[in-house]
Structure formats: C-alpha cells, structure tokens
Amino acid sequence: MFDKLTERLQGVVDGLRGKGRLTDDNIADTLRQVRMALLEADVALPVVKSLIESIKASLVGTEFDKAFTPGQILVRSIHQELVRVLGEGVRPINLRAQPPVVILLAGLQGAGKTTTAGKLAKYLKEKEKKRVLLASTDVYRPAAILQLERLAAQLEVGFKSSDPKQSPVRLAQEALAEARSALYDVLIIDTAGRLHIDDEMMKEVQLIASTVSPLETLFVVDSMAGQDAVNAAKAFGEALELTGVILTKADGDARGGAALSVRQVTGKPILFIGVGEKTEALEVFHPERIASRILGMGDVLSLVEDVSRQVDIRQAEKLAAKLKQGKEFDFNDLHEQLQQLEKMGGLSAMMDKLPAKLASKAAQGQMPNDREITRQIAIIRSMTSRERRFPKLLDASRKRRIAAGSGVPVSEINKLLKSFMEMQKMMKLMSNGGMGKLMRTFAGRMPKLF
C-alpha cells in the first residue's frame, strides 16, 4: 500500500545522492519534493506542514558526519518522524475490564466496518480465546444486519439478531443485555456508516456510545481516503471518545497517507490494519514496519508473523517427523503447502510485504502467481494417491490423464514436476524438521528471489 510513497521518497533521495553536502537551497528544494510526495500520498495538508516543520527542525543546525550522504540523513529524519507520528501510543487492544467488554466501531459509509467487525471477532476468538458476540445497529443499509449475521455464522461466533424496525440505541442496549446474560467476553457493536457532517447521525452514534459505554471505540478508516479523512477523523474524534483507529483495505496500492493524517488528528493509536478479502486478513499495526515500508525497507517481519500464525503447526511437525524418518517429500506434502499459501491470502498478500525491489523482481514473472498456485493444486488433485506418493510413476500416459483431469497442457505438468524435484532435493538436504526449515521451503519455491 505504501509503495508509491516509497517510490517517491526513493526518488528524492536518489536525487540528493552524490551532492555531498546539504545547502540551504537544496534543503528547501528537497523539502518541497517531500512535501509534494506526501501530498500526492494523500497526507492531509496541515499534517504535511507540521511534518515538514519537524523534519526541517531536525535537519537545520545538525552537523553531518561525512560518513553519511545527505540522502541518508534525510531518510533517517523522515523515517524517525514517520515512526514517531504513526507509532505514538500504539498498544494491544484493551480487553482488561469486567466482561462483557464492549467494542464500538464507527466510521464513514463504505469504510469497511462490517467486514472489520467480522475480522476482529475472528481475531479475538482465535488469538485471545474470547467468546465474542456480534451485533449490528445498522438499520439503514439494506441487508447490513444480514451481512453481519452471515459473517458470525461463518466464523462461529455469537450473533444478536437485530430488528431493523427498532432504534439503533435500543438495539445496542439489547445486545449488551444479551452479552451479559449469555456470559460473552466481548461484544462488538457495528454501526451504520455516517457522514461526519450529518449532525443527526453523529448524535445517534454518540447516544449508542453513552448507552453501552464501550471500552474501545474504534474509528474505522479506509486507507485510500483522501484529504478529507482529516476532517472526518476530527469530527468523529469530537463526537466520540475514540480510543483507537483501524485502517482498512491496506492491501491495495493506496499511498496510505490517510494513516498519517488520522493518527495525528485523532491522537489515537492505529491498532489494526485490514489487508485482504478474507476474514483472517487483519493484522496488528506495527509503526516501525510501516514506516520502514514507506522508506523501502520492506516488511519482512509481518510476513514471518503471518506464516507462523497460518501454517498449521501440526502439519508442519508431521512433515518434519516424516522427513526425519528418511521418507521423501512427496506431492501430498506439496499439496498441503500450496494450500497453506492459499490460506494466507495467496502470494500477492505476502508479496505486498516484501521490499519494493524484491517485489518488482518477483512481478517480472520469476515467481508463480496466485493463479499458478491454484493450477498446481488442481494438477496434484488430479493425481492418484499412489502417484502423489511415488512421483516417479508419472509416465507420458499418466501425465496426459492428469493434464486432461486438471485442464492444463502437459507442459505445465512437466514444469511442476521439475520444480517439485528441486524441492525434493532441498528437503533431503535438511537434516532436521521444525518451523524454520518449513519456512525455508517457501523461500525454496522462489530460489531466484532470495
């Protein structure tokens, strides 16, 4: 999401390199370029101004060690400033209160509140082992309540059904009563999307908040939001006692300036970011990583965290044990791995976290794309279980059958077979199993990349 800003800032830095020394003139010029880059990134103008001011303040009067290039000094200053602004007060979600803990989500139309409510419910259920009740107070958008109900059923968390003829405040009250009597740990209340300049609707959400006294009141904001995000955040911050922010749709290519703006205007920490279509695509917010990503250092740490959460540990151990016994890595194992990769939101979700340079290399076709993974899974599924265990069986006739079964040309099967052989060889080289080894297998799938 932050690639574009990264690109711009890299451009600025490249322009500086080799100049040797910062002069007043080229500071002004560089800062103007940074200003434009940030504005293009949808960072709100007042925020850009204050950011530029503090960067300037940190640059002027500083003696530069000649070991650094002016570009490095600049990057360091911007990075420090981004980390400072983004990271102030970042903390885990607060659940330390007598249950049921109430979490209220509010924001503009289309920010992604309902989807986020579902993702948050899944996160709290799986990571925090909480019993979660979802409730909707959106009586306006057709089928909004039903959307949350479907999500709740899919995630196997509690759902308080809401009658759209009731007032939203009443619905919130009923949900709280239900959460209390049924002994839920957490109640997540979804609200209707509203414009921050709609006084009546803002009063309504205020009333909901004062009725259920949430421990967390979270402002949900689209990472693609423009200059006005700053006004929306301000208005929601004034109407509600916000405790935090959730940034949604961060898996796109938005420059993500809204994150900076909202953070600075509300003064509240960004707790989570939404990074994909699937219900598990919600991540804890890491300011250092995002700031690093802005500067092109990539976000390899987030990637590691992803892999360790999603990869089924039992399966990993099974594979490790198997390899230990001297058995060969076979197509059943590859099948499992491909499926896990798919579960993590596919390669594109992982790619997003790699440093810009690696990612662009990968985009040039040195890596299988998500479609290829699906195709490879299809190929493996068209094999008999004997073939999966003993790939050497695959002769021309079998390959033709598999090709027909999975709807790909035989050449695709040969391609898969070839990379499978490489993987098998690598697996043999690994003496012991364990998570680290398994992860390297992913890396092994992209040999040119790492």
Partner 1 sequence: MFGFKKSTADQNATAEQARPGFLARLRTKLNRGSSWLTKGLIDLLPGGKIGDEVLDELEMRLISADVGVETTERILSGLRKKVARSELADLDALLAALRASLIEILQPFARPLHIDTSKHPFVMLVIGVNGAGKTTTIGKLARRMLDQKFKVVLAAGDTFRAAAVEQLQVWGERNGVPVIAQATGADPAAVVFDACQSAQARGAHVMIADTAGRLHTQSNLMDELKKVKRVIGRIDPTAPHEVLLVLDASQGQNALQQARLFHQAMGVTGLVITKLDGTAKGGIVFSLADQLKLPIRFIGIGEGVEDFDVFDAENFVDALLKPVEA
Contacts to partner 1 by CB under 8 A? 4, 36, 39-42, 44-45, 108-112, 115, 118, 141-144, 146-151, 154, 195-197, 222, 224-229, 231-232, 249, 251-255, 257-258, 277, 346, 348, 369-371, 374
Q: How near is the Cβ of 39 to partner 1 at its closest, in Å?
A: 6
Cα–Cα distance for residue pair 284/12, rounded to 1 Å = 30
Q: How near is the Cβ of 378 to partner 1 at its closest, in Å?
A: 14
Q: Which is nearer to partner 1, 154 or 167 (CB)?
A: 154
Q: How near is the Cβ of 37 to partner 1 at its closest, in Å?
A: 9
Which H/E stretch holds residue 98? none
Q: How near is the Cβ of 433 to partner 1 at its closest, in Å?
A: 32
Q: Which is nearer to partner 1, 294 or 423 (CB)?
A: 294
Q: Which is nearer to partner 1, 58 or 369 (CB)?
A: 369
Q: Which is nearer to partner 1, 145 or 394 (CB)?
A: 145
Distance of CA 134 to the CA centre of its chain: 22
Cα–Cα distance for residue pair 280/175, rounded to 1 Å = 24
Q: How near is the Cβ of 227 to partner 1 at its closest, in Å?
A: 5
List, in order, residues 6 or more apart from 281 with CB less than 8 Å away. Answer: 119, 251, 274, 275, 345, 349
Cα–Cα distance for residue pair 165/140, rounded to 1 Å = 10
Q: Which is nearer to partner 1, 336 or 370 (CB)?
A: 370
Q: Which is nearer to partner 1, 22 or 221 (CB)?
A: 221
DSSP-derived 3-state class of residue 132: strand
Cα–Cα distance for residue pair 190/160, rounded to 1 Å = 11
In a 13 Å sphere around the CA of 76, the CA atoms on its Cβ side amount to 10
Which H/E stretch holds residue 134? strand 132-136
Q: How far is CA 60 from CA 13, 16, 53, 56, 266, in A?
A: 17, 16, 11, 6, 29
Q: Which is nearer to partner 1, 113 or 437 (CB)?
A: 113
List, in order, residues 6 or more apart from 243 with CB less than 8 Å away. Answer: 94, 214, 215, 216, 217, 218, 268
Q: Which is nearer to partner 1, 100 or 107 (CB)?
A: 107
Q: How near is the Cβ of 389 to partner 1 at its closest, in Å?
A: 30
Q: How near is the Cβ of 152 to partner 1 at its closest, in Å?
A: 9
Q: Which is nearer to partner 1, 211 or 227 (CB)?
A: 227
Q: How near is the Cβ of 124 to partner 1 at its closest, in Å?
A: 19
Q: Which is nearer to partner 1, 47 or 74 (CB)?
A: 47
Structure tokens at 438: 């398994």
Residue 274, Cβ density class (10 Å: 0-12 exposed, 13-18 middle, ≥19 buried):
buried
Q: How near is the Cβ of 150 to partner 1 at its closest, in Å?
A: 3
- Residue 216 phi/psi, 5° resolution? -120, 125
Q: How near is the Cβ of 134 to partner 1 at its closest, in Å?
A: 12
Q: How near is the Cβ of 387 to partner 1 at its closest, in Å?
A: 27
CB 73 within 8 A of CB 20: no
Q: Which is nearer to partner 1, 75 or 232 (CB)?
A: 232
Upstream peptide bond of 100 is cis (omega within 30 degrees of 0): yes
Which amino acid appears at position 164 of this protein? P
Alpha helices in 296-409 (DSSP H): 300-310, 313-324, 331-343, 346-351, 356-361, 370-381, 385-389, 396-406
E strand intervals along 227-329: 244-248, 270-274, 282-284
